[in-house]
Structure 1
Amino acid sequence: MLDLDRLRALHAVATHGSVSAAAEALHVTTSAVSQQLAKLERETGQKLLERNGRGVRLTDAAHLLVTHAEGILSLVERAEADLEAHRGVVVGELSVAAFPTAIRGLIPAALASLRAAHPELRVLIREYDPSVSLPLVTRGDVDLAIVQDWNNEPIPVLEGLVKGAICEDVADVALPAGHPLAHREVVDLKELAGDRWISSTPGSICCDWLTHTLRSFDSEPRIDHMAYEFATQLALVAAGLGNIILPRLGRCDVPEGVRIVSLRHSLSRRVYAVWREEAARRPAICAALDALRVSARPAVAAPA
């Protein structure tokens, strides 16, 4: 009979590309993975790995076995989720990947709530952009990802994943106090299209979205400064160096010299959780989703 731990080791090598990367993903030593693979070769009577320069590559037999391993491991995960659901108890370990403002604006309150209600659940948090966290969920490296997209530029969810809405995060614009429109209560984004802008780093969802949105007004964006955290961006706005689009979930203490103005045509980020279909019945995922939704309500409410 094929051993599940050995199949899991082979599957991890196929997924991550090397024995060392598989060991890191499985939280074991490289030696432990190599031993599991050696035992699997003896068990199957087939050579599974071949030297390829300084690394290894899978043989045809290994690729065949990996195809079956994916189905087997998926069934095992579904069975474990069903057993947890049958018990109805929120226990075990739940690994969560989330983008930075979700970690600051949603996670602390949600984790405090989960710890109080379900003390036997251990939640592990990792900070990643959606472009990284979605593949991590697909591969099984994390159980749950908290991701975002914009209402005018959605991102696709990969096959085999399920998503659940957490909140709608409305965005305002932050202007330097000396900006000609800073006295207004509401502005139209196209009135600002020719301005200098501050955004997050290249390739991030927010930077790509801002570029796409401003171009829709026939204006080539002038993004002079790039910084990942909203607190840093606000400091640049306070210095009169440009405007930013500021989702309410990302709002921290607004410094002197910054004016927050509403947008006439609402722009918002959709924040949602994503998990694998096989794990959909896990009570821990349901409990985490409920806690995240509750913690989001005050975080994205309209400022007083």
Structure 2
Amino acid sequence: MIDTRRLRTLRAVADHRTVTAAAAALHLTPSAVSQQLVALEHEVGHRLLERDGRGVRLTAVGRILLGHTNEVLAQLERAGADIAAYTAGTAGEVKVASFATAIGLVVAPAMDTLRDKEPGIQVRVLDAEGDQSLTMVLDGAVDVAVAVEYRGAPGEDDLRLFRIPLYSEPFDIVLPRDHPLAAVPDHDGEAAPAPERDAEMPPTPEHDARTAPVDTSPASTHDPRALPVDTPPTPERDTRTLPVDTPPTPERDTRTLPVDTPPTSERGTRTLSVADLSGEIWIGPYPGNPCHDVIALACEHAGFTPEFAHSSDDFSAVVALAAAGAGVAMVPRLALRGTDLSGVVIRPVPGPKRRVFAAVRRGAERHPLLIPLLHALQDAATALRQAPSM
């Protein structure tokens, strides 16, 4: 009989690529991790790891075992969730790791909802940027991650995680007021004025240019808020989806934010392309921040590599540097909320988007403490989408 604790250790080593990093994630000593791996190899009867430079990698047998490990651990999560549902009810602590903007936009509103509807659930929030939140979920440090899509992020088919799309938002170009592109005429031939604070993209009943775009792609064939069941999944019912008491309606699609069309010339915000910024000095987040990946990839597709002269993960600092004439930037639209824009001009840019999702360990989506929280996050994303203005 294989010890499941050793399987968790194997997965941690596979994720972190070194025994030392895996030990830190598991709150164990490196020698304890090594001992568990040796014991697991004896149980299996094969070598599971081999050296790879300064780290380690799985052998062929190790990769086979890891595939089964993900399924076994997910099933254990489901078993724990079912037992908790039967015995504990909805009272206890849930830990959430999220990046700063989403804490204000969806996590805090979700906590407010739970305070009224599920007072027995205590939510503890940790600020985690980049891929930290997903790593924390996989390592068991937190229960829920609110994260941004990035290159190399675990996909929807990853057996370790259960993902729930929340919203997506476009990026805007941030220019100093005296930048040549800030004075480029709009479609009506007049130069665009610099936006005033909190009024750079005023909403209309039909179109709020400061919100993010609607996802017009066809809906998936499964119900993204369907109640999970114990029966095996069928083509008509994907049991990996989030449980809910009522089916969704088109008005409650929480995956994206409006609006897909660019702001109009009446707003003085003519659309620019990423290619227009080739050769500019850039201000942006540090490498490793998912937004840095989005910006770098957009520039790569436009045929150039951005030159980052200034780096900050705080978008209010990025805007302040742009206002000081230090360079240009691309910032997620909702990150501009509440930021002083008096010294810059905002231009929409088609294409790049920041896609935000929640994630839990596969099988944990059934847990009675997590079901209300995941619904509350979706409801907060719905309210964000439906808000008349930012």
After TM superposition, the score normalised by the length of structure 1 is 0.72
User: Matches of residues 232-251 of structure 1 in structure 2 within 5 Å?
Assistant: 232-251=317-336
What are the within-5 Å matches in structure 2 for residues 222-301 of structure 1?
Answer: 222-255=307-340, 257-263=342-348, 265=350, 267-297=352-382, 299=384, 301=387
| Pick aligned residue for 1:202 from 261, 270, 287 | 287
Q: Which residue of 2 aligns with 1:116?
A: 116
CA offset digits 1:66-99 (Å, max 9, x no partner): 9798776544321121234457943222222212
Judged with a 3 Å threshold, the aligned counterparts in structure 2 of structure 1 residues 5 and 213 are, in CA distance, closer, same or farther, namely: closer
State the 1:215 CA deviation. Answer: 2.8
Structure 1 pair 135/267, CA: closer, same or farther in 2 (3 Å)? same
Higher mean C-alpha deviation, range 104-113 or range 18-27: 18-27
CA distance in 1, matches of 2:148, 2:70: 28
Query: Shift of the alpha carbon at 1:16?
Result: 7.6
Q: 1:159 — aligned with what?
A: 158
Aligned Cα root-mean-square deviation (Å): 4.6
> In structure 2, how many angstroms separate the alpha carbons of the residues matched to 1:126 and 1:206?
19
Are residue 192 (structure 1) and residue 202 (structure 2) matched?
A: no
The count of aligned residue pairs is 295
Q: Deviations over 1:40-91 (max 9, x none)?
A: 9xxx9xxxxxxxxxxxxxxxxxx9xx97987765443211212344579432
Distance 1:19 1:120, change over 3 A: farther
Shift of 1:232: 0.9
Distance 1:236 1:19 in 2: 41
Q: Name the CA shift for 1:287/1:170 in 2 (closer, same or farther; >3 Å).
A: farther
What per-residue deviation string (whole Å, max 9, x for no partner) do you get for residues 84-136 of structure 1? Answer: 44579432222222122212333222222222321221222222234222233
Answer with 275-284 or 7-16: which moved more: 7-16
Equivalent residue number for residue 140 of structure 2 = 140
Opposite residue 244 of structure 1, the aligned amino acid is A
User: For the residues of structure 1 that align with 2:349 and 2:287, how far apart are their CA atoms?
Assistant: 27
C-alpha separation in 2, matches of 1:19 and 1:11: 11
- CA deviations 1:234-268 (Å, max 9, x no partner) are 11122122222222331243325434534252542
What secondary structure is seen at the aligned counterpart in 1 of 2:173? Answer: strand
Give structure 2 stretches of 5+ with no counterpart: 44-61, 184-191, 195-267
Q: Cα gap change, 1:175/1:238 in structure 2, threshold over 3 Å: closer, same or farther?
A: same
Higher helix proportion: 1
Is the 1:95–1:144 Cα contact (8 Å) retained in structure 2? yes
**Distance between the aligned counterparts of 2:97 and 2:344, measured in 1?**
32
Change (3 A) 1:118 1:210: same
**Is the CA contact 2:173–2:349 (under 8 Å) kept in the aligned structure 1?**
no
Whether the 8 Å contact between 2:172 and 2:332 is mirrored in structure 1 is: yes
CA separation of 1:102 and 1:3: change in aligned 2, threshold 3 A? same
**Matched residue SS, 1:119:** coil
Match of 1:213 among 282, 298, 301: 298
Residue in 2 aligned with 1:49? none
Change in Cα spacing, 1:9 to 1:212, as seen in structure 2 (3 Å) is: closer
Is 2:253 the partner of 1:168?
no
Cα distance in 2, alignment partners of residues 248 and 130 from structure 1: 18
